[in-house]
Amino acid sequence: MSEFGALLETARDIAWIVDHASPAPKISNLASLGLFVFRLQSVPFQQMQRQTSWKHASGQRVGARPLDQFLGPDADNITLSGELYPELTGGVVDLDELRGMGDLGAAWPLIDGSGYIYGDFTITDISETRSVLMWDGSPRKIEFSLSLKRVPDDLDQPAPASNSTGP
């Protein structure tokens, strides 16, 4: 076999190995809140519920239905919930880390795994239910719920100038 033939055979062997090799496992992030990353090894939430509302003022009119006026955005709340199995996922320590973030009262950017930015949120509530307890009281299952409230984006920007012509 010629040198070229041997080289071609080696290239075919390498191509076969590359085509049939198992893919490298991906480490995916569900989301991040500040520097806390939600993933299988920490707090993998199974459900995200978002509730957004807007303000409307209602003005009464004589002989007609009330007239509503749009005032702007109101609350934007997100609830992350799921179940933890400390032998496989994160556990009490991870929830305590989130509690520590809540204790600071700071707003944290919430970004999902695809890169979508929801905005800055504060942690308003964490609830957990520990069950399937072992002999020492440590849970094998933890159900949790994490409530987040969006902070206004315009806190660091000056208010727009008034267009009224005043007296």
Torsion of CA 85, 90, 92, 97, to 10 degrees: -160
Average pLDDT over residues 90-113: 94
What residue spans of 28-113 are helical by DSSP H?
A: 92-104
CA angle 32, 35, 39 (to 5 degrees): 40
Which of 27-31, 49-53, 114-118 has the lowest average pLDDT? 27-31
Question: Is-above-0.75 flag for pTM?
Answer: no
pLDDT category of residue 87 using cuts at 50, 70 and 90? confident
Ramachandran assignment for 153, one of left (phi > 0), alpha (psi -120 to 50 degrees), beta (any other): alpha
In DSSP terms, which residues pair with 123 in a beta bridge? Answer: 148
| CA-closest candidate to residue 74, choices 55, 100, 102 | 55
